[in-house]
């Protein structure tokens, strides 16, 4: 009997001690989504809510098909999507190559921290609509102000996350690297940066979400295409089915990008949560 126990595979600690959050939840999320759609269909088909306020899922689906084929708000859904993707991804990539280095420098250099910290902390809590008029006054109503507004919204959380990642590195690791003869640049590149990667990816996830949140505000600035513009234009004509369809499309793309960043995080940081 003891021999059989000795040959059995070790049991994960979470299985015995009940680690919080252990286990898969995808099937629960799927069932929740299906239950929500079923409730939505029931409420609308029974006529408990007027279609003006909440159209049925079938009406939203029909509007989705029309948007794909014939188009809404003077463009097809593909054209609206490509316009919005270009703005959000452009702002996200620009923030990635600027906010992450700034955040790392804020964590390792007190001068840089003193320069950027008050600026970031001042405008970070402000809603984008608050400084949208100022951006229009400064930069006009072209394409760049839209991207710049989304960029500002993404920059702050990514820079703060990178700084927090740098500050979370244990002093023992840094001292051990110096004791082994590492230079300052090597310590930053091989110790601090790698230890900060989990926080940086968290900032990327928050940033891309904030970017999609800011999209509607950005496309208020004399836009002719875009998912946010489509939603705003439909709201003016009380086209609830188009509004909900646009919201669903934006949510699907935001969720897809979040899943993609999660996948990259697992692939590039396999040691996360294990050390």
The pair of structure tokens assigned to 65 is: 């098909």
Q: What is the mean pLDDT of residues 233-258?
A: 91
The pLDDT confidence band at residue 13, using thresholds 50, 70 and 90, is: low
pLDDT digits (tens, 9 = 90+) for 131-158: 888 888 898 888 899 999 999 999 999 9
Average pLDDT of span 62-78: 89
Q: What is the pTM of this model?
A: 0.82
pLDDT band at 18 (very low <50, low <70, confident <90, very high): low
Q: Is the pLDDT of residue 178 over 80?
A: no
Residue predicted with more confidence, 55 or 20: 55
pLDDT value at residue 2: 47
Question: Any idea which of 10-19, 78-87, 252-261, 263-272 has the lowest mean pLDDT?
Answer: 10-19
Instruction: Tell whether the model's pLDDT for residue 275 goes beyond 60.
Output: no
Q: Give me the chain's average pLDDT, please.
A: 85
Q: How confident is the model at residue 17 (pLDDT cuts 50, 70, 90)?
A: low
SS (H, E, C) the chain: CHHHHHHCCCCCHHHHHCCCCCCCCHHHHHHHHHHHHHHHHHHHHCCCCCCCCCCCHHHHHHHHHHHHHCCECCECHHHHHHHHHHHHHHHHHHHHHHHHHHHHHHHHCHHHHHHHHHHHHHHCCCCHHHHHHHHHHHHCCCHHHHHHHHHHHHHHHHHHHHHHHHHCCCHHHHHHHHHCCCCHHHHHHHHHHHHHHHHHHHHHHHHHHHHHHHHHHHCCCCCCCCHHHHHHHHHHCCCHHHHHHHHHHHHHHHHHHHHHHHHHHHHHCCCCCCC
pLDDT at 20 over 70: no
Per-residue pLDDT for 19 more than 70?
no
Question: The domain 55-268: what is its CATH number?
Answer: 1.10.3720.10
Q: What is the pLDDT of residue 10?
A: 55
Share of the chain above pLDDT 90, in %: 36
């Amino acid at each position: 009997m003891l021999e059989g126990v000795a040959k059995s595979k070790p049991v994960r600690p979470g299985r015995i001690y009940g680690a919080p959050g252990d286990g898969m939840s995808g099937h629960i999320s799927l069932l929740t989504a299906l239950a929500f759609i079923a409730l939505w269909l029931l409420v609308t088909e029974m006529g408990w809510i007027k279609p003006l306020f909440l159209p049925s899922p079938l009406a939203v689906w029909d509007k989705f098909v029309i948007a794909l084929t014939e188009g809404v708000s003077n463009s097809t859904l593909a054209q609206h999507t490509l316009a919005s993707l270009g703005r959000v991804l452009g702002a996200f990539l620009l923030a990635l190559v600027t906010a992450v280095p700034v955040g790392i420098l804020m964590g390792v250099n007190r001068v840089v921290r003193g320069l950027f910290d008050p600026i970031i902390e001042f405008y970070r809590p402000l809603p984008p609509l608050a400084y949208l008029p100022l951006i229009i006054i400064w930069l006009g109503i072209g394409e760049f102000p839209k991207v710049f507004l989304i960029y500002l919204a993404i920059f702050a959380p990514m820079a703060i996350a990178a700084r927090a990642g740098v500050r979370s590195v244990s002093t023992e690791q840094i001292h051990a690297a110096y004791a082994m003869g590492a230079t300052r640049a090597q310590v930053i590149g091989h110790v601090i940066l790698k230890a900060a990667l989990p926080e940086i990816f968290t900032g990327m996830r928050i940033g891309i979400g904030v970017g999609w949140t800011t999209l509607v505000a950005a496309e208020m600035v004399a836009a002719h295409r875009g998912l946010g513009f489509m939603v705003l234009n439909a709201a003016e004509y009380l086209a609830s089915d188009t509004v909900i369809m646009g919201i669903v499309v934006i949510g699907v793309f935001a969720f897809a990008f979040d899943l993609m960043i999660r996948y990259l995080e697992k692939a590039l940081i396999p040691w996360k949560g294990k050390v």
